[in-house]
């Protein structure tokens, strides 16, 4: 009796043709599965972003400097600027890594406006300094 891997390697072309034919004949079902997968991944990414930004916003989903609370404009800020010394990770992979590392110190939630002001003025804003 052959293993499933061996069967696939022996019948690879036939399997590929059958799968292709099935996808063509079930086009709408394939599109629906792809859309569902996309929606689920998008929702999980948004939930992770909210979770990370809430943690670094000291328990609230707001900019720690001005109190702005629209999630689309909130960003994660390095408290100590890294400059060009280190390639800064961004996006969902960065959020995943922070969560896996147990939310290390050194980050804060800022809105895009405060992030730009901080960058152009070269100032350091932390929650403790603002109070």
- Domain, as residue range, for 42: 4-130
Give the number of other CB atoms < 10 A from CB of residue 82.
Answer: 10
Predicted model pTM: 0.72
- Residue 115: burial class (beta carbons within 10 Å; 0-12, 13-18, 19+): buried
Task: Specify whether the CB–CB gap between 77 and 42 falls below 8 A.
Answer: no
Strand locations in 14-122 (E) = 74-78, 107-111
> How many domains would you assign to the chain?
1
Residue 58 gets the label, from left (phi > 0), alpha (psi -120 to 50) or beta, of: left
Of 108, 126, 113, 106, the closest CA to residue 68 belongs to 113
pLDDT truncated to tens, each residue of the chain (131 aa)? Answer: 567 778 999 999 999 999 999 999 999 999 999 999 999 999 999 999 999 999 999 999 999 989 998 999 999 988 876 655 556 677 888 899 999 999 999 899 999 999 888 888 876 655 555 44
């Amino acid at each position: 009796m052959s293993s499933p891997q061996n069967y696939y390697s022996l019948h690879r072309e036939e399997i590929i043709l059958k799968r292709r034919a099935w996808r063509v004949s079930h086009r709408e079902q394939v599109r629906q599965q792809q859309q569902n997968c996309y929606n689920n991944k998008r929702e999980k990414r948004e939930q992770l972003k909210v979770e990370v930004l809430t943690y670094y916003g000291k328990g609230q989903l707001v900019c720690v400097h001005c109190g702005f609370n629209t999630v689309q404009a909130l960003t994660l800020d390095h408290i100590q600027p890294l400059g060009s010394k280190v390639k800064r990770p961004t996006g969902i992979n960065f959020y995943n890594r922070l969560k896996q590392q147990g939310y290390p110190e050194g980050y804060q939630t800022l809105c895009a406006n405060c992030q730009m002001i901080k960058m152009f003025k070269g100032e350091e804003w932390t929650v403790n300094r603002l109070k």
